[in-house]
């Protein structure tokens, strides 16, 4: 039969072609089913309003899982008691906000009524500063190296991006296994004749490894953004600079950095926002310890609302609203700087 079809000039159809035909037929059938109701909706509301019909599922999802929780959180922040349902909670106004902001000196957490909150703020600021510097520096260096015609460039690009695909909890568990008292790193040190180092007992080491693990886990994502920016720079600019005998450092300072600035700005703001709301990696890695040396603001919110014996949803809600305001301001700064740079 196949030979007969070929003899008449009709090509044979393999399994893949048959599967493609079935898929196309199913898609066409689905389009025929959805076409009449969509045309009816278009006649009812007009063609200009049809985009809202396609946006409606996302808007419903966003409203249920973003806007509604934000509204409930604000309600909790101005109500008191231990009841879970908002209708059963008495209104207390700004009492929780006043409690969080009641400080003798904002630079001394011990002088604040909620000292754990301000310790979390201080730790978050420390974490944010060190992580931003390390993340941007190492991401930029890695992007510059991977943008060069080195051997195995595709392999190294995949290797640097691989940690981004891992869950933050998995990343933290891996490094906790490496860094714990009887972990892999201490095993190597003792085999080499050294002594064990208690990384999670010393506050300085705990903060250092918290920053290191976060940079290791997310650097590939920001490297990818910077690498895309580097590849968008026209090669003619570098060729002209090379013909003029411009030194490499001057090329980097005068050409690469200015043209890479939009991508660098995006990286700076994204790193800043992520650093402010860090929780899962540090919590799994150190548990906020030793003591409260690595307890971040989000961990304070989680502990206050869920982990304490007396769950204070109102105080946790107020702290999360303050954190949300900070993130909102950071987002506005990003938009302002981006538009200013574009203009």
What does the pLDDT look like over 272-294, one tens digit per residue? 889 998 999 999 999 998 989 99
Question: Which residues have C-beta within 8 Å of that of residue 225, sequence separation ≥ 6?
Answer: 263, 266, 267
Ordered by start, the domain boundaries in the chain are 19-64, 105-342
Weakest-pLDDT range from 57-61, 137-141, 159-163:
159-163
Q: Does domain 105-342 have CATH number 1.10.3720.10?
A: yes
Query: Is the link from the previous residue into 290 a cis peptide, with omega within 30 of 0?
Result: yes
> Average pLDDT, stretch 300-317?
91
Indicate the angle between helix axes 313-342 and 68-77, nearest 10 degrees: 130
> Average pLDDT, stretch 11-16?
52
What does the pLDDT look like over 86-110, one tens digit per residue? 888 999 999 999 999 999 888 888 8
Question: Which residues have C-beta within 8 Å of that of residue 142, sequence separation ≥ 6?
Answer: 160, 219, 223
Weakest-pLDDT range from 1-15, 58-72, 177-191:
1-15
What does the pLDDT look like over 36-65, one tens digit per residue? 877 887 888 888 888 888 888 899 998 999
The total of other beta-carbon atoms located within 10 Å of residue 113's CB is 13
> Average pLDDT, stretch 30-34?
72
The confidence score (pLDDT) of residue 16 equals 57
H-state helical runs in 46-114: 50-62, 68-77, 95-101
The total of other beta-carbon atoms located within 10 Å of residue 123's CB is 25
């Amino acid at each position: 039969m196949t030979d007969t079809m070929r003899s008449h000039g009709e090509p044979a159809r393999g399994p893949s072609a048959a599967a493609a035909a079935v898929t196309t037929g199913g898609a066409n059938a689905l389009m025929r089913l959805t076409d009449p109701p969509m045309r009816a909706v278009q006649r009812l509301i007009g063609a200009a309003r049809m985009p809202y019909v396609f946006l409606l599922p996302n808007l419903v999802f966003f409203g249920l899982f973003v806007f509604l929780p934000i509204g409930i959180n604000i309600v909790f922040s101005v109500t008191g008691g231990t009841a879970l349902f908002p209708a059963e909670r008495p209104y207390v106004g700004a009492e929780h906000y006043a409690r969080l902001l009641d400080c003798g000196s904002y630079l001394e957490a011990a002088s604040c009524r909620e000292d754990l909150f301000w310790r979390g703020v201080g730790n978050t600021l420390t974490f944010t500063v060190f992580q931003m510097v390390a993340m941007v520096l190492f991401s930029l260096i890695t992007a510059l190296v991977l943008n060069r015609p080195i051997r195995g460039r595709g392999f190294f690009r995949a290797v640097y991006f691989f940690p981004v695909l891992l869950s933050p909890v998995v990343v933290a568990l891996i490094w906790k296994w490496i860094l714990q008292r009887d972990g892999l790193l201490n095993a190597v040190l003792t085999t080499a004749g050294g002594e064990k180092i208690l990384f999670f007992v010393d506050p300085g080491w705990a903060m250092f490894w918290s920053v290191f693990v976060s940079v290791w886990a997310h650097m590939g994502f920001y490297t990818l953004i910077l690498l895309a920016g580097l590849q968008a720079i026209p090669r003619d600019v570098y060729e002209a600079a090379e013909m003029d005998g411009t030194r490499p450092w001057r090329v980097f300072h005068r050409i690469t950095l200015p043209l890479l600035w939009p991508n660098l700005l995006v990286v700076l703001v994204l790193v800043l926002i992520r650093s402010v709301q860090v929780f899962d990696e540090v919590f799994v890695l150190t548990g906020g310890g030793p003591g409260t040396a690595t307890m971040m603001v989000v961990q304070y919110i989680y502990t206050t609302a869920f982990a304490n014996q007396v769950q204070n949803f109102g105080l946790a809600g107020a702290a999360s609203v303050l954190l949300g305001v900070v993130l909102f301001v950071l987002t506005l700064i990003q938009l302002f700087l981006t538009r200013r740079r574009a203009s």
